[in-house]
């Protein structure tokens, strides 16, 4: 019974992360097919940003898929070697997502108040995601699993900002009856990252042991 409960508790975050990531990844796949000349649905990509767009799409597919399974406690305990290998691939993919996003930020920069504001949001988020991944790697190299998990949660939340953006932008268009202006769109694009980061911090703090539990663990350790 306990193993079944553990599996269900591990499966829930995987399914949730995969469903959340599936929304922007659907458009990413369409864009990839367009780059390969298979379909012509979305607006064309300028030649100067084809490379970062391709890198962003490919790394996002790997990061969103493998990254979801990294949060499974059951998989981590049953197949630790698989978790380590997938973790390395997820780290590389996540770094490529963050760095290609920064590249694309300057490739699509619009010199206006809304454009500069949106670019600022993207630079901050892309840099924060890369930093979170780096600190997560540093933590696991020190065998600090708790801190590693926390930094990876933050990186995942920032990386999934595109999914929350789709939801917020859709709600915004419904409420206003049309697409927002450039400045309003920048605000609506920045809001989802704040929501995701706040949710990540809530999950992290909820998972930390309470002061009473930490004191009890210290007491048990001192008696052994």
Task: Please report whether residue 121 resides in a domain.
Answer: yes
Q: Mean per-residue pLDDT for 97-123? A: 92
Domain of 173, in residue numbers? 2-209
User: Is the pTM of the predicted complex or chain greater than 0.75?
Assistant: yes
pLDDT digits (tens, 9 = 90+) for 142-156: 999 999 999 999 999
| 165 part of a folded domain | yes
179 domain residue, yes or no: yes
Confidence of residue 11 (pLDDT cuts 50, 70, 90): confident
Closest listed residue to residue 171, CA positions, set 153, 154, 202, 195: 195
Give the pLDDT confidence of 116-172 residue by residue, as tens digits: 999 999 999 999 999 999 999 999 999 999 999 999 999 999 999 999 999 999 998
Spell out the long-range contacts of 173-181 with Cβ–Cβ below 8 A and sequence spacing 24 or more: 181/114
Residue 17 lies in a domain: yes
What pLDDT was estimated at residue 33? 82
Structural domain contains residue 95: yes
Count of domains for the chain: 1
pLDDT-derived band at 10, boundaries 50, 70, 90: low
Residue 66 lies in a domain: yes
Q: Is residue 96 in some structural domain? A: yes
């Amino acid at each position: 019974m306990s193993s079944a409960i553990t599996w269900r508790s591990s499966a829930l975050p995987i399914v949730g992360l995969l469903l959340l990531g599936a929304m922007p990844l659907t458009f990413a796949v369409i864009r990839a097919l367009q780059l390969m000349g298979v379909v012509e649905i979305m607006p064309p990509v300028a030649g100067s940003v084809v490379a970062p767009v391709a890198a962003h799409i490919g790394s996002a597919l790997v990061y969103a898929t493998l990254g979801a399974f990294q949060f499974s406690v059951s998989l981590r305990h049953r197949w630790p070697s698989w978790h380590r290998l997938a973790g390395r691939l997820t780290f590389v993919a996540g770094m490529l997502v963050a760095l290609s996003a920064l590249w694309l930020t300057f490739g699509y920069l619009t010199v206006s108040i809304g454009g500069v504001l949106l670019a600022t949001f993207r630079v901050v988020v892309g840099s924060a995601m890369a930093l979170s991944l780096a600190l997560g790697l540093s933590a696991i190299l020190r065998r600090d699993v708790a801190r590693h998990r926390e930094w990876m949660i933050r990186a995942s939340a920032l990386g999934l900002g595109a999914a929350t953006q789709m939801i917020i932008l859709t709600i915004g268009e419904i409420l206003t009856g049309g697409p927002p202006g450039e400045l309003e769109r920048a605000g609506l694009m920045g809001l989802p990252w704040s929501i995701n980061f706040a949710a990540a911090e809530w999950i992290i703090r909820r998972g930390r042991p309470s002061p009473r539990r930490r004191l009890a663990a210290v007491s048990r350790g001192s008696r052994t």
